[in-house]
């Protein structure tokens, strides 16, 4: 186990570190938060109105999110993984998901147009969304 083990550790640890750094640099959505979105100032219509942070009450055993906000347009949830966001989105009837984020429109009275603008803002924040928006 001597030399081979030492060489494996000396080579493996730096490789894992470098791979992790590359992943973080090439995947900027990991560092973006809903707070960033809620505080985003656009020259157009504000589509995050009546903002309330609901992380403590929303994110728990039932919804494994790491951050949540409620607005007049939707409830927003941020997850640690794409898979978790996709899985939660699949349980909702009226929602939109992009990257690590899910928007739930249930119980919201904002206009369909305002909700569409909110989806476009969320998707456009990182300029990599290439899908469609749900017809509502």
Pairing mode, if any, of strands 67-70 and 52-53? antiparallel
Please give the pLDDT value at position 128.
64
Give the domain range for residue 108: 32-129+132-136
pLDDT at 110: 93
| Rounded CA Rg of the chain | 19
Q: Are 116 and 132 in contact (CB under 8 A)?
A: no
8 and 47 in a common domain:
no
In the chain, % of residues over pLDDT 70: 76
Give the dihedral of Cα atoms 57, 108, 48, 124; nearest 10 deg: 100
> Based on the domain organization, do 64 and 113 belong to the same domain?
yes
Higher pLDDT, 134 or 50: 50
Mean pLDDT of the chain: 82
Could you give the CA distance from residue 73 to residue 37 in angstroms, rounded to a whole number? 13
Answer yes or no: do 67 and 108 share one domain.
Answer: yes
Q: Single out the residue of 102, 98, 28 nearest to residue 68, CA to CA.
A: 102
Residues 6+ apart with CB under 8 A from 24: 30, 31
Q: Which two tokens stand for residue 4?
A: 């081979």
Residue 88's pLDDT is 97
- Evaluate if residue 65 carries a pLDDT over 70: yes
Whether 75 and 117 share a structural domain:
yes
Average pLDDT (125-135) is 72
Name the pLDDT band for 89 (thresholds 50, 70, 90). very high
What is d(CA 91, CA 32) in angstroms, rounded to the nearest whole number? 24
Specify the number of domains making up the chain: 2
Q: Give the H/E segment covering residue 35.
A: helix 34-39
pLDDT at 72: 94
């Amino acid at each position: 186990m001597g030399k081979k083990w030492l060489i494996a550790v000396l080579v493996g640890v730096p490789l894992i570190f470098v791979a992790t750094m590359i992943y973080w640099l090439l995947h900027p959505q990991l560092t973006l938060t809903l707070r960033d979105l809620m505080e985003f100032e656009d020259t157009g219509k504000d589509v995050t109105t009546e903002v309330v942070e609901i992380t403590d009450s929303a994110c728990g055993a039932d919804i494994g999110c790491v951050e949540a906000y409620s607005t007049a347009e939707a409830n927003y949830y941020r997850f640690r993984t794409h898979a978790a966001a996709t899985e939660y989105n699949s349980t909702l009837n009226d929602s939109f998901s992009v990257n690590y984020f899910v928007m739930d429109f249930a119980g919201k009275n904002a206009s369909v147009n305002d909700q569409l603008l909110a989806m476009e803002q969320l998707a456009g924040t990182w300029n990599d969304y290439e899908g469609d928006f749900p017809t509502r």
